[in-house]
Homo-oligomer: A and B are copies of this chain.
Amino acid sequence: MPRNGNSSQDRVIDPTDTKSKILDAAEELFMEHGFEATSLRLITTAAGVNLAAVNYHFGSKEELFQAVLTRRLDPMNQDRMQLLSAYESASNGKPLTCEKILAAMFIPALKLARDHQQGGKNFLRLLGRAYADPAPFIREFLSSQYREMIARFRSAFSFALPHIPREELSWRLHFVMGALSYTLAGADMLKIISQIHPEEATNDELLLKRLAPFLAAGLRSPSPAEDGGHHLFQET
Contact = CB atoms under 8 A, between A and B. Distances in A.
Interface stretch (A12-20, A40-48, A141-149): A141-149
Report copies per complex.
2
B146 A173 contact: no
A195 B103 CA distance: 25
Chain A contact-residue range equals: 35 or more
A191 interface: yes
Interface string A198-229: 00000001011111111111111110100100
Interface stretch (A1-9, A50-58, A126-134): A126-134
A142 B147 CA distance: 32
Q: Which 5 A-B pairs have the closest CB atoms?
A: A178-B182, A217-B221, A132-B132, A36-B36, A214-B218
Interface of A: 33-34, 36-37, 99, 102-103, 106-107, 110, 128-129, 131-135, 139, 142-143, 146-147, 150-151, 154, 167-168, 170-175, 177-179, 181-183, 185-186, 188-196, 205, 207-222, 224, 227, 230, 232-233, 235
